[in-house]
Structure 1
Amino acid sequence: MSGGVDSAVAAARAVDAGHEVVGVHLALSRMPGTIRTGSRGCCTIEDAMDARRVSNLLGIPFYVWDLSERFKEDVVDDFIAEYAAGRTPNPCMRCNEKIKFAALLDKAIALGFDAVATGHYAKVIDTPRGRELHRASSWAKDQSYVLGVLTERQLAHCYFPLGDTPSKALVRAEADDRGLQVAQKPDSHDICFIPDGDTRGWLSSHLHREPGEILDETGEVVGRHDGAHGYTVGQRRGLQLGRPAEDGQPRYVLSIRPVSNQVVVGPKHQLAIGRVAGGRFSWAGDPGFDVAEWFDCDVQIRAHADPVPARASLQPILDEERTELHRDGATHEIVVDIDLNQSEPLLGVAPGQTAVLYSGSRVLGQFTIDRAVAAGAISRGRRRERAV
């Protein structure tokens, strides 16, 4: 129970369904000021008090479990390391993977509980092949993307009471009818361990800031930066370029080179991606087909992005350069070719982001992006293949 309205209503519905429910709030920081303050519905002291009040009203036991050490190691330290490597991580994905549905779930199962219920908007469906993870009924509120890290074993112990609710407004109305004080509590959107929302400033206090060059796509120096970790692929604002583009069009961050401490910028069309690939993959249940063969799917690379048509397959990593990208010693990676015929191209993909694969409403699995290939390069390659 985060202290927000979604988990409060989820707990209430679990009680109504006849389950024996225990409320658990996660303490994720031992250092005052390192977790966002104010009633935002995540992991502050105020949130713990809100969760306790809801539990008291529902008549269920309530506990605070200290997972701060695991959170620092698996989420905060990982976040810092990824940015130091020139990547753009998603800490919410890591928190779901390592904390809520690993450390928390493992402890719950060890104590004899059957499942962890949360306020996520997603659905778990039982099929003859096992459990499947699907989008929520309301795609506008769907949170299946951030749950894409769940494995078949974890899905067997998940319970999402809000999955069939058409809108957040109905959840708030239900909370109000139940007399829950969190009915109108604002949603949480920021990174919880960055109190003021200033990610660049927070990173500057945790990473060595080394000034360097900003290059255009031809390699010409067009500006200076005060630390490459303060930039991310697709960024347009705050570049402070000393030389405008010849055509007068805005430029965007195309890539970050941590070894040489350089940031590369260029026109927007060069952000279009034709292929992504990466490791640290997992499957949300049995896909039902051979993933080593090419299969049609949709790929989504951000929590609130639209999915785009693609085809994917699990392939062995054969060349040494690609092997070096995988720090976990992986022997295989997922390769996804984006459909280049769609009206809106996939833009601004950064290494470190999570790609979630879908088949219709079903989540097939996910992987961490290690490399992205420009659509232009893919298009030229396909033309060469046709010529041969």
Structure 2
Amino acid sequence: MPRDLDLPLNSLGLPKAPADTRVVVAMSGGVDSSVVAAVLKEEGYDVVGVTLQLYDHGAALAKKGACCAGRDIHDARRVAEQMGFPHYVLDYENTFREAVMEEFAESYLGGATPVPCIRCNERVKFRDLLNTAKELDADCMATGHYIQRMVGEHGPELHMAADANRDQSYFLFSTTPEQLAYLRFPLGHLKSKAETRALAAKYGLPVADKPDSQDICFVPNGDYASVIEKLRPGASDPGDIVDMAGKVLGQHRGVIHYTIGQRRGLGIGGLSDPLYVVRLDPESRHVVVGPKEALSTRIVPVKEVNWLGDAPLMSRPEWHIMVKVRSTRPPREAIIRPISETEAEVELIAPEDGVSAGQACVFYAPDSTRVLGGGWIWRGR
């Protein structure tokens, strides 16, 4: 049916009646995406639910507190049946392993601290699944992420969620303008997770009281090392714990068991001052430790920059903005100095501790909630 440009925009910002608007909802089986699907179905949209099978069901069924597991697929199907819309499960195991899990293992082996959830959004959900939604003739794809999409003077913009405690902008910085034109985030305006659960109860969804996922979906109980050892047998070779001058202080059971900023569990007690992991050197198999002040960083090089500002990144020699170098930290003042369209140097006005290669550095406008993109921290201090 051709679009009538004289029609008012519907709640998804499209000039069509809801009944004529097909929406693919990415359903993880949790309460957030289930509520999105239920709300859109009640509003009269042509909803199609899609859940991704990202890894082996058998292993997933035994695991609690993670997304995308076998139980979650079952829960998504139950919601679709109750609300009366079609639901499909797509096998993305190979894609997920190649695009997310393999890089996760390689990054850890290289001494970095990767964020696989960002890569999953970038390479699986917002690329492959989004293309599948278009093949299903959907007008847009909706997810349960807590982030806001607003239409500005130059087109769709990405903004932080209304609930700062639920904001997921750090994990979505690599969303491109083309993807943003097609994506919708119906929960981003809610003020609390309690509102989401109240909606789930209103619709009588079977997942209304389901706990939130806590771990990375393929990392049971946060045990990164065991996952990497399965992906890369023999990766956990022992080595020396050394100070910043190279003096051996003890032995470790594998670089992959340590992260930048770690203090506990080093096994080098008896020293007068506390020591922290300040660098990981996989080639020499050294875990380098030092005082807390050695963790302090002001200059952060980033690559694979995704810029969402209105003017081109290279149009200025520097940008005064806010940045996050970890998902759990608030935005801090910084200056971006572009090197190319995809590479930049970020100077933190106040130094941060524990900045690690493999993490994201996410950019924010200094005077609004707008997300200006971000990049990957690509080397240590």
Please report the TM-score for the alignment, with normalisation by the length of structure 1.
0.86
1:29 aligns with 2:52: no
Letter in 2 for 1:86: G
Select 2:371's aligned residue among 353, 357, 363.
Answer: 363
1:4 alignment counterpart? 30
The residue number in structure 1 matching 2:268 is 241
The equivalent residue for 1:277 is 301
Instruction: Specify the code of the residue in structure 2 equivalent to 1:8.
Output: S
- 1:296-311 matched pairs, under 5 angstroms: 296-311=320-335
In terms of mean alpha carbon deviation, does 118-127 or 191-200 score higher? 191-200
How big is the shift at 1:41?
Answer: 5.8
Query: In the TM superposition, what whole-angstrom CA distance separates every residue of 1:165-213 from its partner, at most 9, and x where no partner exists?
Result: 0000111111112101111100011011123432123323433222211
Q: Match for residue 16 of structure 2?
A: none
Give 1:283 deviation, angstroms: 2.1
Distance, in Å, in 2 between the alignment partners of 1:40 and 1:182 is 13
Q: Structure 1 residue 130: deviation in Å?
A: 1.3
2:353 to 318, 337, 347: 347
What CA distance in whole angstroms lies between the structure 1 residues aligned with 2:115 and 2:315?
Answer: 25
Task: Call closer, same or farther: CA 1:224–1:171 in 2, change over 3 Å.
Answer: same
Match of 1:192 in 2: 217
Trace 1:137-148 onto structure 2 (pairs within 5 A).
Answer: 137-148=162-173
Residue deviations 1:37-86 (CA, integer Å, cap 9, x gap): 35646211111111111111211111101111100001111101111111
Residue 22 of structure 1 aligns to a residue in which SS? Answer: strand
- Deviation string 1:229-271 (CA, Å, 9 cap, x unpaired) is 2111111111111662xxx221110011112111111111221
CA contact (8 A) 1:311 1:336 kept: yes
Aligned partner of 1:94 in structure 2 is 119
- Alpha-carbon distance between aligned partners in 2 of 1:149 and 1:362, rounded to the nearest angstrom: 14
* Alpha-carbon distance in 1 for matches of 2:315, 2:30: 38
CA contact (8 A) 2:301 2:345 kept: yes
Q: What is the Cα deviation at residue 30 of structure 1?
A: 3.2
CA offsets per residue over residues 261-290 of structure 1, 9 Å max, x none?
A: 111111112211101012122123635664
SS in 1 for 2:283: coil
Taking the aligned partners of 1:11 and 1:304, their CA distance within structure 2 comes to 28
Matched, 1:181 2:213: no
Letter in 1 for 2:308: A
CA distance in 1, matches of 2:315, 2:239: 42
Contact 1:254 1:348 (8 Å CA) reproduced? yes
Distance 1:289 1:283 in 2: 7
The match for 2:14 is none
Count of aligned pairs between the two proteins: 351
Q: Contact 1:6/1:119 (CA < 8 Å) preserved in 2? A: yes
Q: Deviations over 1:314-333 (max 9, x none)?
A: 215xxxxxxxxxxxxxx852
Q: Describe the SS at the equivalent of 1:8.
A: helix
Instruction: Please show how residues 34-183 of structure 1 align to structure 2 within 5 Å.
Output: 35=60, 37-38=62-63, 40=65, 42-183=67-208
CA separation of 1:6 and 1:292: change in aligned 2, threshold 3 A: same
Aligned-partner Cα distance in 2 for 1:234–1:46: 35
Distance in 2 between residues matched to 1:230 and 1:287, nearest whole Å: 42
Please name the residue that 1:312 is paired with.
Answer: 336
Tell me if structure 2 keeps the 8 A contact 1:39–1:186: no
Within the alignment, does 1:338 sit opposite 2:362 as a pair?
no
The answer on whether the counterparts of 1:299 and 1:358 sit within 8 Å (CA) in structure 2 is: yes
Q: What is the letter of the counterpart of residue 377 of structure 2?
A: I
* Percentage of identical aligned residues: 42
Unaligned segments of structure 2, at least 5 residues: 1-26
Aligned twin of 1:15: 41
Residue type at the aligned position of 1:353: Q
- Superposed CA offset, 1:296-328 (max 9, x none): 111112222211110102215xxxxxxxxxxxx
SS at match of 1:173: helix
Any unmatched runs of 5+ in structure 1? 317-330, 374-388
Q: Is it true that 1:251 corresponds to 2:278 in the alignment? A: no
Return 362-371 or 151-160, whichever deviates more. 362-371
Q: Does 1:293 align with 2:289?
A: no
Shift of the 97–159 alpha-carbon distance from structure 1 to 2, 3 Å rule, reads same
Tell me what 2:10 maps to: none
Choose which of 220, 231, 250 in structure 1 pairs with 2:258: 231
Q: 2:151, 2:251 → 1: CA distance?
A: 55
Other structure's SS at 1:189 match:
coil
Q: Deviations over 1:323-349 (max 9, x none)?
A: xxxxxxxx8522100012xxxx41101
Partner deviation per Cα, 1:2-23 (whole Å, 9 max, x = no partner): 1111001111222233321101
Partner SS state of residue 156, structure 1: helix
Structure 1 segments, 4+ long, off by >4 Å, are 287-292
Q: Is the 8 A contact 2:236 2:254 kept in 1?
A: yes
Counterpart of 2:6 in structure 1 is none
Q: Which amino acid aligns with 1:111?
A: L
Using structure 2 for the length normalisation, give the TM-score. Answer: 0.87
The 3-state SS of whatever aligns with 1:293 is coil
2:5 corresponds in structure 1 to none
- Do the aligned residues in 1 keep the contact of 2:146 with 2:187 (CA within 8 Å)? yes
